[in-house]
Structure 1
Amino acid sequence: MPHKTPITTKILIAMVIGLLSGSLINAFGKDVAFIQTYLVDGLFYVVGAAFINALKMLVVPLVTFSLICGVCGIGDVGVLGRVGVKALTLFVTTTAIAITLALSVAALIGPGKGFANAQSLSDFTPQPAPPFTEVLINIVPDNPVQAFAEGNMLQIIFFVIVFGIAMLMAGDTGRQLAQSAERMNEVMMKVVTLVMDFAPVGVFFLMARTFSEQGINLILPMIGYFSAVIICLLLHFFVTFSLLMALLAKLNPLVFIRKMRSAHIFAFSTSSSNATIPVNLQVAEKRLGVDNAIASFTIPLGATINMDGTAIMQGVATVFIANVYAIDLSLSQYMTVIGMATLASIGTAGVPGVGLIMLAMVFNQVGLPVEGIGLIMGVDRILDMMRTVVNITGDAVVTCIIARGENALDESIFNNPDAGAITEIELPHKNTLEESVLNAPEIELPQKDASID
């Protein structure tokens, strides 16, 4: 049988080609009307946006059925509560570590000092930040149907968890519903597989449009800020997450990072934690060996409330803008930034660009000029891709830690380099002729006795 190229490799190749193609267009075709109209704003935009929509299409039904399976799979309301408390505690802790690391590194590097032309930056007008009391109230949906229609993930998660608990309490009726949800979840995973078939094409057009608009040269004037964010993201990714995996999950961090590659590529190309949920869920179960009951609960929850990469951006951006405007922040203001960035991640949608809205809320709280966000908007798209990788990695780390603590992690799968590798996207078509004959259930010899009688 000919060797099949892994889908992850195809996506990686498509991403690199898209980056190079976009950069060339930015350098040589930026003023060519035909290229801008029919390629950048035409083909690139349409196919890329359609691919993102296809991924988002999966999110609500997949989260619904997988969460129901997770709640019912845990099977005990007490255990469910314990897992929920663990998840929330770990998510908040990792976010607080991320923002603290970002503030510390940015204070050492000092991005933005001596920066010229701080005035007349941008007319960026942020949405008004709701008070924290409203954030808590809005977790509970007043209309679940509206929450599902609008894709309000925190409200959906709250309703589905309550519904799943009610199923546990409903006895036999709940068990029948749980079986139906399991079947629907299996079907949704097949839909995920179908969408993944087109991933290399979608990723190519996404990358090509991003870099044809942004260009690599845009990074140069912002190299101090850009470098500080990258350093913090790498430190959190390789140091914080590795220590958590080694100490709390007692698993090899290098194996974990290697097995997360497919989810990392999707997160980088889509810049959306929510859009990466299907892939991250598949990796957690099939590649890392986490039981479905745990993974289907913590992965969607993490995509909604865990924003380590976004918190890092907020920390560095706070120091950067303070330096640009020569504003000295006090220790209490730094503590406020840590608290605000941690709390703001709860209930924030995992979609591209939402970090800027959260950043405006943090700036307002510590008295920094919100118009300073205009400085970082140019490079935010590229950084958004990188911090989404950190966001979804944090979800998987917490999932592994909880699964280890609940004895719901198969270490043989985790240590098997080939386990769950996403290479057989076309699995239903791979049967050989012999396998098809041997596995065909229609040929039942006992039926000929009935025909003779």
Structure 2
Amino acid sequence: MAKKKIPLHLKIVIGLLAGLAVGLLFSYLGVPKEFTLNYIKPIGTIFVNSLKMIAAPLVLASLIIGIANLGDVSKLSRMGGKTIGIYILTTVISITIGLAVVNLIEPGKFISTQTRMDLLEMYAGKVAAKADQAKELRESGPLQPLVNMVPTNIVQAASDNGSMLKIVFFAVLMGIALLKIPKEKGEGVVKFFDGINEIILKIIDFIMRIAPFGVFALITTMIVELAGDDPSSALEILGALLAYSLTVLLGLGIMIMLVYPMFLKIFTSFNYFDFFRGIRPAQLLAFSTSSSSATLPVTMECVEKKLKVSEEVSSFVLPLGATINMDGTSLYQGVAAVFIAQALGLDLTITQQIMIVLTATLASIGSAGVPGAGMVMLVIVLESVNIPAAGLALIIAPDRILDMCRTVVNVTGDATVSMAVASTEGQDFSEIDTEELVQE
């Protein structure tokens, strides 16, 4: 009798829980942090770097193939308009939900004066660094995002995952060009990139074999670094910020359990629990890596192979989503801005909160899909409503954990929109064999 294979998502969960246990054990036993940094962290770094390594070529190849297979530029225009429109809609909804829950719970009023002063003093240096980065973004000009979208050197852009929008821009141009030239002249190019795409997908299979070990290393390192030299002190700070953290998690939970199922119901009538089972490897990796860009190859594989979204849709919608659709990040920015105002005793008017919605929407588009990018954009959101950027110190302590959670929402939102757009393009999801969703 053949031995039953353990599903990949279960292996990842085991790695995650083992990393949590080992990280806490190391912290309380006083195991030198250097041991974790020298012998465990590199495993996680190798895993994340492996995913980032294939992100750019995967986006380039799959997007070119997807557009070339559309057969019509008007179809691309129609699909692009729907994609961006839905992304902006979900972003506005997420920020609105964040503002609603933070105004209802008012977590800022749970922070004592002493805790506030301690946090402001403890993280003053980190706040200054984030403020400097935000200043550079502000001084770049209102049209700088459009300038940054066009690469001066596509090879150089392809070597930087932070330049994913440049790769998308080039791939869209190349795909459109392939549609405009005689088919026989572009056929060899299409076959080349199709072959590259298949090779990358096979490499993803190889990388995912070490995913449980990579997740274990990432979580162990995160716990050890978070605990620092005094685990009890870290827990006290997190306890003081518990109301804020739970407010963010409540907002993120509403997005995952209510908003996205609503979109699926409206566009596809697809069972959300089956959808969840189909993308859970991507969600678990998003939680572990805190990076939408690093998770992108796995997200594309789950959406195409499990949820059966056509390649022409997924190859366009998902890379674009990993670049501009940050629902979890924008929700967090709304909650964080109001929380800081509450903690500092500042009252925000309705007009100021509307300004937060507008600024956070624009900031989420410019927020790179890498860990901690949302914190820099938050400085801009704070200053748009005259909240001192120094208040950022109040939320730095739990940010690493919350960043993991909001990245899960970002990735889930991308997958949801891909199914919605595919449905509007005439794809029928009623024939999906849901039993395949539990097989890895």
Q: TM-score, normalised on structure 2?
A: 0.91
Quote how far apart the aligned CAs of 1:144 are: 2.3
Q: CA deviation at 1:76?
A: 1.1
Of 131-140 and 46-55, more deviation after overlay is shown by 131-140
1:350 match: secondary structure: coil
Alpha-carbon deviations, 1:20-57, whole Å to 9, x = none? 1111222232xx4xx3112x221122111111111110
- 1:195-234 correspondence to structure 2 within 5 Å: 195-215=207-227, 217=235, 218-234=237-253
Which of 101, 107, 121 is equivalent to 2:103?
A: 107
Deviations 1:212-262 (A, max 9, x none): 222482521110110100100001110000111111222222221222211
- The answer on whether the counterparts of 2:150 and 2:169 sit within 8 Å (CA) in structure 1 is yes
The runs of at least 4 aligned residues of structure 1 exceeding 6 Å deviation read: none
The answer on whether the counterparts of 1:286 and 1:420 sit within 8 Å (CA) in structure 2 is no
**1:146 correspondence with 2:156:** yes
Secondary structure of 1:327's match? coil
Which residue of the partner structure matches residue 301 of structure 1?
320
**Alpha carbons 1:19, 1:207 under 8 Å: kept:** yes
Q: Which amino acid aligns with 2:191?
A: Q
- Three-state SS of the structure 2 residue aligned to 1:237 is helix
Query: What letter matches 1:155 in structure 2?
Result: K
Q: Which runs of 5+ in 1 are unaligned?
A: 423-453
| AA matched with 2:29 | F
User: Residue 315 of structure 1 aligns to which amino acid in structure 2?
Assistant: G
Q: Which residue of 1 aligns with 2:27?
A: 26
Distance 2:300 2:438 in 1: 12
SS in 2 for 1:377: coil
**1:37 — aligned with what?**
34
Q: CA deviation at 1:146?
A: 2.5
In 2, distance between residues paired with 1:155 and 1:352? 20
Q: 1:154, 1:347 within 8 Å by CA — same for their partners in 2?
A: no
Residue 166, structure 1, aligned to residue 185, structure 2: no
**Structure that is richer in helix per residue:** 2
Quick check: 1:44–1:205 contact (8 Å CA) kept in 2?
Answer: yes
Q: CA RMSD in A?
A: 1.5
After TM superposition, give the deviation of residue 420 of structure 1 in Å.
8.1
Q: Which AA in structure 2 matches 1:47?
A: I
Residues 294 and 408 in structure 1, CA contact (< 8 A), matched pair in contact too = no
- Aligned 1:25-174 pairs, distance under 5 A: 25-29=26-30, 32=31, 35-38=32-35, 40-113=36-109, 115=111, 116-117=113-114, 118-119=116-117, 120-121=120-121, 122-123=124-125, 124-125=127-128, 126=130, 127=133, 128=135, 129-130=137-138, 131-151=141-161, 152-171=163-182, 172-174=184-186
Segment of structure 1 superposing worse, 400-409 or 192-201: 400-409
Deviations 1:292-350 (A, max 9, x none): 11111111110110000001110110111001111111111111110111111113210
Larger Rg: 1
Residue by residue, what CA displacement relative to the aligned partner does 1:407-435 show, whole Å, maximum 9, x if unpaired?
A: 2344322x42215832xxxxxxxxxxxxx
SS at match of 1:4: coil
How far apart, in 2, do the equivalents of 1:154 and 1:409 lie?
30
2:231 matched to which residue of 1? none
Look up the match of 1:188.
200
One-letter identity of the residue aligned with 1:401: A
In structure 1, how many angstroms separate the alpha carbons of the residues matched to 2:438 and 2:223?
32
Question: Would you say 1:392 and 2:402 are equivalent positions?
Answer: no
Contact 2:91/2:361 (CA < 8 Å) preserved in 1? yes
Equivalent in the alignment of 1:310: 329
Q: Any conservation in 1 of the 2:264–2:272 contact (CA below 8 Å)?
A: yes
For residues 191 and 83 of structure 2, the distance between their equivalents in structure 1, rounded to whole angstroms, comes to: 26
What is the aligned counterpart of 1:320 among 339, 346, 359? 339
Aligned residue for 2:193, secondary structure, equals helix
Identity of aligned residues (%): 38
